[in-house]
Each structure stands twice: as C-alpha cells, then as structure tokens.
Structure 1
Amino acid sequence: MHFKQINKTTWRCIADGPVDPFTGKRKQIARRGKSKGEAKERVEKAIEEIKKSHSFDSKVKFNKFSDQWLNLYRLKGNKETTVEYRAYCITVINKYIAQLKMTEITTLNLQRVLNDLFEKGTAYHTLRGIHNAAKMIFNYAKEVGVIGVNPVEAVFVPKKKLTLEETNGEDVSKLYLETDELKVFLNTVDAHRNIMNRTLIYTIAFTGMRPGEAIA
C-alpha cells in the first residue's frame, strides 16, 4: 500500500487490487479518507468487494473453469494454432475429470490421468503439452482464489526408458567389438609409432571410458 497526504485533512491510499479473472491483470485501487487509517480501511473494503464480484462459484467444475481459462488465454493474443492445441489438451483432460469440482481435484487425480495416457501409448511430447496446459489452468485457479495450492506442481510426466537400439537407431552388436575383432584391432594399434595414442586406445578398450574422458 502507498499513502499520500493530499492536505491537512485528507489522505489518499493506493493498493493493488485482485487479479481480474477476465483480463488476468491487476488494477490499482485508490480511496481517500480524513486520516491514514480511514483511507486504508476504505481501500481494503473496496478490494474485498471486488474479490466477491470476481470470485468463482466454489462448486465450479473443471470443464467449466477450463473453458473460461481458454477464453482468457485466447484474449491474451496467443496464436490460434497454440490456442487450438491447448483446447485439444483440455479435451483430453476432460475425459477424466470434467465433472470434478476444482476444489476436489488432487495431485493423485492428475497423476493418474498422465499415467493412464502413458500406458495407452501417448507420445511424450503430447504428455508434456497436457501437463503444461493443466499447470497453467490450475495456476490461474490459484491466482483467482478458487484453490489454495496448485495440485499439478507435484505431478510428473511419465517417460519411457529407451533401449540402446531405440536411442541410436541401430543394432547394438554393431557398436562393440567381439574378442577376436578386438585382438586384430589392438595388433594394428601396436604398430602405431605414437606411444601416447597407443596408451589412449588401450585405456579406452579395457576400461570402457568415453574418448573425451580418456583424453581428459
């Protein structure tokens, strides 16, 4: 809060108001009083009245709240393709928790959503997008006072553990030398004149070090 004395009998108090649920912005609230305390009291009363007018029904369900959030997201000037992608993510989440009240939705609820999608083979980048959309929606719900804690904060995106073949896109057998192949290779190395290079290659061959580690 900021106070300013206008004259001997008048004080002005200014404070940030609550987040407007339709614009996502805050407005400064100013009131005057015959004293510092009176000006402050009037500002606080005005803020409380604004909060009541902006507040959502405590029984608001996820599908209704997410629709309002999406409209706000569009009004902020985001690209239409991005808005459409957020809408798609909301559609997916709605299949699980559309009729749940915002105040009832827990971290466990949301984690189950991602886990089930993961088990059904949903791509990792799609899971990330759904997670991000949910996080933004519940962050907004927290900002406007619908919930006290964002349940998405503790939710993680499941990730498949890739095999070496999947990581490199090739047969693992092609990445390593068999014993007889290693012997032929090291015989060729022994003929190399530079002892430092020979030492380096032997170190890599018998310790499994990466080339960069061995050079260091």
Structure 2
Amino acid sequence: MKGHFYKPHCKCPGKQKKKCGCGAKWSFIIDVGIHPQTGKRKQKKKGGFDTKGDAEAAAAIMLVELQQGTFVEEPNTSFMEFADNWYNYYQSTGKVKPGTIRMRKYAIKNLLPYLQYLKMKDINLSTYQNALNELHAEGLANKTLVGIQNTGKLIFKWAMEKSVIKTDPTLYSYIPKTRETVEDLERKKETINYLEKEELALFLDAAKTKGLERDYVIFMMLAYTGMRVGELCALKWKDIDFEEHRISITKTIYSDNKHVKEYELLTPKTKRSNRIIEIDEDLIKVLEEHRARQNEVRMRHRNTYHDKDFVIAKMISNYGYPEYVGQVEYRTKRLLKITNLNPSITPHKFRHTHVSLLAELGIGLQEIMDRLGHEDDATTKNVYWHVTKPKKKEASTKFAEMLREL
C-alpha cells in the first residue's frame, strides 16, 4: 500500500522509536492525486490509531473511498455550531409552522448539554443514544422525547447531505420507555381531568357574574363547541352562520403571548381539524349579544380599531386585536379559584368536558371525534369510555335479567 505510517508524537529517543514505549499513537499520510490549481500532489493524513495495523486498515478504506468517489472529508464542526446553522436553514424555508419551529428549538436546547462541544464526525450511535437515555432518566415525557428524536434525525440527515459526516448516528437509535405497571395505568385513568356538568354550570355562572369582559362568551364557546383555544382566538365573524347555526373551523392562531400585535393565522392542526360545528340557539344568542357590544367598541375607537373581523377581539386596549391563548389560560385559573374547582383544569380540558357531556347524552364516539376534529386521540377515548362505563354495565345487567325471565 502506498503511504507513510509513523508516530508523529513519539518521545522515545533515537533508535528506540522502533520499539516505542511511550504509548504514542500511529498516523498515516497517503497521496491522493494532484491538486488541479497548483499541480502539487494532494495528501490526506489521519492519526490516533493504537496499532500500525489499525492505521493501515483505515488508510486502505480511505483509498477505496477515493477510488469510488465516496470519500467524505469530515470537517471539525461542533454539534452546537452545526445545529445552529441547521435551525437557521429550517426556519428560513417558510414551510414550517411557528409552533413547530419553536418545538425544534426546544429539542436542540435539550440535546446541547450532551452534544454541544462534540465534533459532528465524532458523534456515534452510542453517544447519541446515551443523550436520549439521560433525557429519559430526567423524566421527560415520551411526547417530548419523540420531538427531540425527530429533530436529531433531521439535523444529522442534513449533515449527511452536506457531507459533514459519513454515517448517521441516529439511524438505529430509539426512544427509551419505562414499562408501565398496573398501578401506573390505574393512576393514569384517575387523572383524566374535566368538569362534571354541575361543575361546568357553576364555572359558566361565575364567568357570567364574576368574570372579566368576554369571559362568558369565551367559555361558552369552549364548553359548547369543544374547539381548541387557538381555533377560538382565530375565529372570525364570517366563520359563523347565524341562520344555519354553524361554525366553520378553518384556521388557528400563533402568537408568543408577549406581543399582542404580532400574530399569525395558520391552517388547522390536522386535515380533520378543518370542520363544521353545529351550535344551538343559546350560544347563538350569546354571540349576538357579544357582537353588539363589540360593535359599540368598534365605533368608539373606529380610528384605531384593528378591524380584522375577530370574534374574540380585545375590547379594553389594543382594540380589535385577537386574544392570545395565554390570556385565556389566565382567565381560566382566575375563575377556577373563585369557584374552588379543580385548579389543574386548563382551557384544553373544556374539550374533554365537551366529550364527557356528549358521551353522557349517548352520542357515539365517532360523531364526537368528528366534532372535535380528531382522527385519533387516546385521551378523548379514555374520557368517552370512562363516562359510558356505567351504561355498559347497565346494559350487561339488563341483558342478564332478560335471559333469567325466559
């Protein structure tokens, strides 16, 4: 094999280098052709091998890759530097929703403590898997780990495309899982949170009599339709058919909860989220009253009103701008405290409350899923089975009684 194999850092004096005892590593340098611009020979070198045989094997592989045109010279780019470059590229494509971009940034933040100073070329399956294992040990939820894993795969795939690395360390990686015990499953069922119908009535009464402006219409909409909070904040008057008693869900909203005037309307979460919700006369009446009050505010502030047709528009300051999700969360906590109801209830739990009430009325699971815009959702199913369980037992009892009477 053409090449020079040596120990560049050997400290043994004179002829003793042939019988090196200082533990220096082996390196190689090989000719790989002529530089097209200078006409001088091009050389590649690499070190860090324990034995001369290891160096010769690595050199042989490099020569084959050079002959086949598959050789990749991995640069000394750190994970932190490359992940930052990838994130800027990912963000600039304009094809990704802001919420997803934010999730990718969070995923990178979680990986940095384990990979940030490592060279991309030095990260192998063991190193990457260890990062996932450590994050799992910290107690991160499986959903969060899935987001981290998917982000890692995107980063290293891009590194492969850019010839920054030869092999993808995420290829055979996996998300660690803790096997659930019977007690875990029972505890999970017990923590399904939603408001019972009596609790919902108490909450809505507090929203009407002790709530802030717009509280009643906000929580009536969430409770009576099962829509997501982002869908509610994005809703426009043109989406409501007052004659047919229908609401069209065609969009959701994104904002960072800090800059009220900076928001973005996005397509719904999934294809099934684009849907029509039937509503009743009571909710229509509440909406009509709210629209009348909103028109008064619009007229008083006609010169500064952000007139973009939003239903849940601000009416005390920043007139006309859509409400943001964080404010709805604050209002929920406030009313829960006033009513002394379960403090763990969030605005999203009104979807679960909606499911429970529909299930209690005997509405089928598929009809409920269609109304909520779900293709599949484990929590929705759990709520449904929890509510309908007594009816199933009742059916079983009645069936047995019928047979006994024969």
Normalised by the size of structure 2, how large is the TM-score?
0.29
Q: Within 2, Cα distance between the matches of 1:118 and 1:150? A: 21
Q: Residues 20-42 of structure 1, C-alpha deviation per residue, up to 9 Å, x if partnerless?
A: xxxxxxxxxxxxxxxxxxxxxxx
Match of 2:121, SS state, is coil
Match of 2:163, SS state, is coil
User: Does residue 87 in structure 1 map to residue 105 in structure 2?
Assistant: yes
Q: CA RMSD in A?
A: 2.9
Q: Within 2, Cα distance between the matches of 1:111 and 1:57? A: 21
User: Does residue 116 in structure 1 map to residue 134 in structure 2?
Assistant: yes
The alpha carbon displacement at 1:191 in A equals: 9.3
What corresponds to 2:233 in structure 1?
none
Match of 1:69, SS state, is helix
What corresponds to 1:96 in structure 2?
114
The alpha carbon displacement at 1:148 in A equals: 1.7
The alpha carbon displacement at 1:97 in A equals: 0.9
Query: Which of 156, 178, 194 lines up with 2:174 in the alignment?
Result: 156
What corresponds to 1:70 in structure 2?
87
The alpha carbon displacement at 1:57 in A equals: 6.9
Q: Within 2, Cα distance between the matches of 1:76 and 1:168? A: 44
What corresponds to 1:59 in structure 2?
76
CA contact under 8 A between 2:124 and 2:169: conserved in structure 1? Answer: yes
The alpha carbon displacement at 1:192 in A equals: 3.5
Stretches of 4+ aligned residues off by more than 6 angstroms = 188-191
User: Does residue 166 in structure 1 map to residue 166 in structure 2?
Assistant: no
The alpha carbon displacement at 1:80 in A equals: 2.1
Match of 1:149, SS state, is coil
Answer 1 or 2: higher relative contact order, Cα 8 Å, separation at least 6: 1
What corresponds to 1:133 in structure 2?
151
Match of 1:153, SS state, is coil
Normalised by the size of structure 1, how large is the TM-score?
0.52
Match of 2:117, SS state, is coil
Match of 2:118, SS state, is coil
Aligned pairs, number: 127
Give the letter for the 2:106 counterpart: Y
Stretches of structure 2 that go unaligned for 5 or more consecutive residues are 1-71, 191-398
Q: Within 1, Cα distance between the matches of 2:121 and 2:74? A: 10
What corresponds to 1:9 in structure 2?
none
Stretches of structure 1 that go unaligned for 5 or more consecutive residues are 1-54, 172-187, 195-216
With over 3 angstroms needed to count, the CA separation of the structure-2 counterparts of 1:56 and 1:98, relative to structure 1, is farther
Q: Residues 149-192 of structure 1, C-alpha deviation per residue, up to 9 Å, x if partnerless?
A: 21101110011211234334459xxxxxxxxxxxxxxxx96994
Give the letter for the 2:118 counterpart: L
Match of 1:140, SS state, is helix
Q: Within 1, Cα distance between the matches of 2:139 and 2:77? A: 31
Q: Which moved more, 1:124-133 or 1:79-88?
A: 79-88
Query: Which of 103, 106, 109 lines up with 2:124 in the alignment?
Result: 106
Q: Within 2, Cα distance between the matches of 1:85 and 1:167? A: 28
CA contact under 8 A between 2:75 and 2:164: conserved in structure 1? Answer: yes
Give the letter for the 2:79 counterpart: F
The alpha carbon displacement at 1:122 in A equals: 1.1
The alpha carbon displacement at 1:193 in A equals: 5.7
What corresponds to 1:18 in structure 2?
none
CA contact under 8 A between 2:74 and 2:163: conserved in structure 1? Answer: no
| Equivalence map 1:159-198=2 (5 Å) | 159-169=177-187, 192=403
| Equivalence map 1:4-15=2 (5 Å) | none
The alpha carbon displacement at 1:56 in A equals: 9.1
Match of 2:101, SS state, is helix
Q: Within 2, Cα distance between the matches of 1:166 and 1:127? A: 19
| Equivalence map 1:37-56=2 (5 Å) | none
Give the letter for the 1:62 counterpart: F
Match of 1:87, SS state, is helix
Q: Within 1, Cα distance between the matches of 2:127 and 2:121? A: 12
Q: Residues 66-105 of structure 1, C-alpha deviation per residue, up to 9 Å, x if partnerless?
A: 0000011001111222112111111111111101000000
Give the letter for the 2:170 counterpart: V
